Amino acid sequence: MRQRLLRLAPHLVIPVLALVALTAWAGWLGWDQRRDVQPDGSTTGPYAAWQVIGLVLTLLAPVYWAASRRHAVGAVLGTTVGLTVAAYYDWSDDSSGLFMIGVGTVMVGSLGATAAISGVIASATRNRFDRRR
């Protein structure tokens, strides 16, 4: 049974990490939908820096788990798909139509950042798994 689960694991990494990323977005960013008006009349938000930092730190754990087990591609694709879908859903009610630029930015940024982090994690943990065999 364990061998069967191990063979199935690479196929589950992408959907599981996409679901984790989507859930993390909802937990950290999904509840804050209003912009803050500053005393000078300018607006900020709707997200505070601590919310985005919390999202990134939350996603580091599943990305580390997948990349350290030689599923770096799944970590990159799953996280990118989850964040892109979440951004699209969250921002699609924007009447200006510019939300697609933001969604594209989230997609490219999460793809690049997750690829770099996964590459570093995969190289740093490569020897750990080779010694176990």
61-77 confidence digits (pLDDT tens): 999 999 998 899 999 99
pTM for the predicted model, two decimal places: 0.84
Residues lower than pLDDT 50 in the chain: 5, 133
Percent of the chain past pLDDT 70, that is, above it, reads 86
Q: Say what the pLDDT of residue 52 is.
A: 93
Q: CA 50 → CA 73, 108, 127, distances in Å?
A: 28, 21, 35
